[in-house]
Chain A
Amino acid sequence: MPDRRAYVFLADRGGEEAAISFGELDRRARALAVRIAAQAPRGERALLLFPSGIEFVVALFGCLYAGIIAVPLMLPRRHGARDASAAILTDCTPRLALSTAALIAGARGDLTGRFPADRLAWLATDGDEPVDRVARGLPADPAAEDIAILQYTSGSTSAPKGVVVSHASLLANLAMIQAAFGTTRTSTLATWLPHYHDMGLILHLLHSFYAGAPQVLMSPVAFLQRPLNWLRAIGEYRADFSGAPNFAYDLCVSRYRPEQMEGVDLSAWRVAVNGAEPVRAGTIDRFAETFARHGFARRAVTPAYGMAEAGVLIAARTRADGPVYRRLSRDELQRNRVAPPQGDADARLAVGCGAQLIGERIAIVERETRRRLGPDEIGEIWVAGPNIAGGYWSNPQAGADAFAATIAGEEEPAWLRTGDLGFVDGAGELFVTGRIKDVIIIRGTNHYPQDIEHTVETAHPALAQHGAAAFATVDPDGDERLVVVQEIERSYRHRLDSDELTRRVREAVVAEHDIAPFAVTLLRPGALPKTTSGKVQRALSRQLWLDGGLDLL
């Protein structure tokens, strides 16, 4: 067992770049833990700043062995401007930052400069420490309620929210995940998802480890470059579990070339999870049809729903029956009602995301009254169970709002309010139909309107402060796209180059958020809908934009 491969990392251009057995992983993690423990007492935080690969996994387990709270982060983009780095630093006050020697030395721009803090010590995990010595002096094993990880996938760049994941809640979700998907030591998993994203970290990286199964890893860049390489890896390694957000399945279809799939057999792929963003029936159908000829079975399609605040997984289709759809009225869904469509133009297919997992409860609740709703009634999705996270690291107010909700007439338990809308049908199947929370999801990643609005407003002096609204619209293919509308500053209205302004806005949003706005719409001064107290009305802005009712420049 100790010599069995735990992880294999594929180079971006193909071939195995690195591999590690369970035994080596344990030895390296313990040796690293000794070094970590010498620099920080238990309970301190360590940032983990790594490219995709095995080094990250060693660092993660090193932290866990040392009793240090691991904070996995995305590497700051080399040419990116502002990001959440400084705010996360302030929020979790880490004592350590773990990375590779090359990155610390500046191989990819000034990494250490992005995290200015007097108390922060940088530790290279890939130094020449001998790993054959038995590590001595490790702290005792963690208690169940000790915090293992902080996940910063929620919250805006100015107000990040670190989801507190204890060992107990993590193990609870991993047990639910293993039970849901039937993963064993003889399974093989595969992923290209980033390790700082909950779907990558928990649903893949830790899931395989928990089951004692090997996993094949690729970088997200490798996937975006050549999406079919993901499928080729699944075929070559006979992976039976691999998941990704909806856009990834669309990308495989749009970049499909038969010659690149020659000899690839996907028939071992038993669980193809689709989650992290709304799951679309059209995507499922196109993917299943395109890849059937390569052995892909439609019944492997596994729509799922989750969020970092719930460990990661809340629900998934686990019966290997394939996806289930409900054909509903689009108009009635806009009014948060479930009804059959009035003709084809009104029809929308809602995709079922499975039932609550074993040990967990899902409730649909009416937001204003906190009244529990019945089957086929749309309300906010609430979740309770041992997998629910402990709150946000240093934002107790936001934590109380989200994690300690009670249903009217019921004393307990404390429920997680997801901010998503949906219904459960008569058979217990969950359908996610919309979102209350103000978040825009692009390629499975959360973006916050207020962050984007700040970027837009400050992109040029001719743009009015507090004059921006950012929202999502769904394009003809069903994909979520970003729209920004921005008022012109009154004093500039007679000396404008609107093309130049549009370019500046687009450039700023790409540079700071790595999203290309689908539309940048400039408005006359004062044209942005606001409340009497001056707050921008995003939902109304969106409706007016869709209806063509905004006062354009």
Chain B
Amino acid sequence: MPPASISEAEIRDWCVACLQRMIDFPAAPVAPDATFAEMGLDSATSVYFVVELEDWLGRELAPEIVGDYPTISRLARHLAGGAEDDGAG
């Protein structure tokens, strides 16, 4: 369980590691500034990714958050800002 305030860099690194585990096709191009679609995250996988992220962060996130913040970098920046997220971009 991470500490109450997590840095943007820690969130970014965690997301990269998580997606590298989840995206199971050869030569999966996980990178902080690639869009989730470019990395091959379909909605079923993105739903799973958001659940894992919620569990790690310890707070609820809307499943559509990866649509509103479509790269790891942007998502990490948004979440590190500590915003209460209800899915509204």
Contact = CB atoms under 8 A, between A and B. Distances in A.
Chain B binds chain A? yes
Contact of B64 (A13, A78, A499): A78
A506 B35 CA distance: 10
Interface in A478-526: 481, 499, 502-504, 506-507, 510-511, 514-519
B25 A517 contact: yes
Contacts of B41: 510, 516
B25 A511 contact: no
A510 B44 CA distance: 11
B73 to A, nearest CB: 16
A519 B23 CA distance: 12
B37 to A, nearest CB: 4
Nearest to A255: B48
Contacts of B35: 507
Interface residues of B, number: 25
Given A481-B25, A503-B34, A507-B35, A516 B67 contact: no
B42 interface: yes
A500 to B, nearest CB: 10
B67 to A, nearest CB: 4
A13 B50 CA distance: 14
Contacts of B32: none
B82 to A, nearest CB: 21
Contacts of A77: 43
A225 B48 contact: yes
Contacts of A504: 38
B37 A506 contact: yes
Interface in A185-226: 221, 224-226
B26 interface: yes
B42 A519 contact: no
A506 B44 contact: no
How many chain A residues sit at the interface, stated as a range, is 20 to 34
A314 to B, nearest CB: 27
Contact of A506 (B26, B38, B63): B38
A516 B51 contact: no
State the main secondary structure of chain A at its contact with B.
Answer: mixed
B41 to A, nearest CB: 7
A218 to B, nearest CB: 13
B45 interface: yes
B67 A78 contact: yes
Contacts of B44: 224, 443
Contact of B42 (A78, A226, A515): A515
B29 interface: yes
A79 interface: yes
B47 interface: yes
B1 to A, nearest CB: 15
A503 B19 CA distance: 16
Contacts of B64: 78-79
A443 B47 CA distance: 14
A307 B23 CA distance: 31
Contacts of A514: 42-43
A218 B66 CA distance: 22
Nearest to B45: A516
Contacts of A515: 42
Given A79-B67, A224-B47, A443-B44, A510 B37 contact: yes
A502 B34 CA distance: 12
B37 A507 contact: yes
Contacts of B38: 503-504, 506-507, 510
Interface string A27-47: 000000000000000000000
B26 A516 contact: no
A193 to B, nearest CB: 14
B40 A510 contact: yes
A519 B25 contact: yes
Given A503-B34, A516-B25, A510 B51 contact: no
Nearest to B34: A503
B62 to A, nearest CB: 10
A506 B47 CA distance: 18
A77 B67 CA distance: 10
Contacts of B25: 481, 516-519
Nearest to A516: B40
A506 B48 contact: no
Interface of A: 13, 77-79, 221, 224-226, 443, 481, 499, 502-504, 506-507, 510-511, 514-519
Given A221-B47, A224-B48, A481-B25, 7 more contacts: A78-B67, A224-B47, A511-B37, A515-B42, A516-B42, A516-B45, A517-B40
Interface pairs A-B: 6 shortest CB-CB: A516-B40, A79-B67, A510-B37, A507-B37, A507-B38, A224-B47
Interface of B: 23, 25-26, 29, 34-45, 47-48, 50-51, 60, 63-64, 67, 70
26 contacts: A78-B64, A79-B64, A221-B47, A221-B63, A224-B47, A225-B47, A225-B50, A226-B51, A481-B25, A502-B29, A503-B34, A503-B38, A506-B38, A506-B39, A507-B35, A510-B37, A510-B42, A511-B37, A514-B42, A514-B43, A515-B42, A516-B25, A516-B40, A517-B40, A518-B25, A518-B26
